[in-house]
Amino acid sequence: MLLASRPSAADKVAALRQAITRGTLSMPGCFNAPVAMMAEKLGFEAIYISGAGIINGTTGVPRHRSAGRRGGGAHRCLHRQRRGGAGSV
């Protein structure tokens, strides 16, 4: 994956603008690289990240109630969001 050609920043901006013009764009919040890679593998066109997301993801608080305490919560949340949109998380 690291050796694959990567799109330029301008190409990424153009792709995001095109996706937005098609309608609602579902973007999961990804607090680290493994979660972003899961989102990419599940077919999301875009993700977002926030300062609070990074802090919460690295410190473990607050816990997202959908993630549960059994582990693999980020993966379950991404699957739910992919199937039913943001309202399903």
Domain ranges of the chain: 26-88
Q: Give the type of residue at 77.
A: C
Q: What is the pLDDT of residue 64?
A: 53
pLDDT of residue 24: 86
**Cα three-residue angle 6-44-74, rounded to 5 degrees:** 110
φ, ψ dihedrals at 48, nearest 5°: -135, 160
Phi, psi (degrees; rounded to nearest 5) at 28: -75, 150
| pLDDT by residue, tens only, the chain of 89 residues | 556 788 899 998 999 999 999 988 889 999 888 999 999 999 998 999 988 888 887 887 765 555 445 555 666 666 666 666 555 44
Q: What is the pLDDT of residue 88?
A: 47
Count CB neighbours of 16 within 10 A.
Answer: 14
